[in-house]
Amino acid sequence: MSAISIGGELIHYEVLGRGRPVILIHSWLGSWRYWVPTMQNLQLKYRVYALNLHGFGDSSKNHNKYTLDNQVKLLSDFMTAMAIPKAAVIGHGLGAWVTAEFARLYPDKAPRVMLISAPLFNMDDLERRAHP
């Protein structure tokens, strides 16, 4: 188990392989474990990182960090802490949303992205939406 302190929060991640960096971002109700088969395949050519976002897996559970902005900042801070100037970033579900926003804000850090099962609607107002 690998962990790093970012902004005073414990962030869990796993890393395999050597080569150019690839970062994997999990979906809702997920963790880095979701990516084990992918990591095993990619490690042959790449250095593959899978991190748990705030509130997932073994990362800190601080409700104030669960916003999209904080998850995107976590990814940026993780790359800085790990001395990764740029990486291919692959995100699934929630991770796709985080990845898309990260690539928009930091295009030089994410020259290649892959979005899997990206949300097809704006989720910014989920807290205010009325239930049917």
Give the model's pLDDT for residue 19: 97
Helices (H), 1-132: 36-42, 68-81, 94-105
Statement: residue 61 has pLDDT above 90? yes
Give the model's pLDDT for residue 119: 81
Query: Strands across the sheet with 20-25, in order?
Result: 2-6, 9-16, 46-51, 20-25, 88-92, 112-116
For residues 21 and 80, the answer to whether their CB atoms sit within 8 Å is no
Sequence-distant (6+) residues with CB within 8 A of 90 are: 22, 23, 24, 25, 38, 99, 113, 114, 116
Statement: residue 131 has pLDDT above 60? no
The reply to whether the predicted model has a pTM over 0.75 is: yes
Give the model's pLDDT for residue 30: 86
Statement: residue 36 has pLDDT above 60? yes
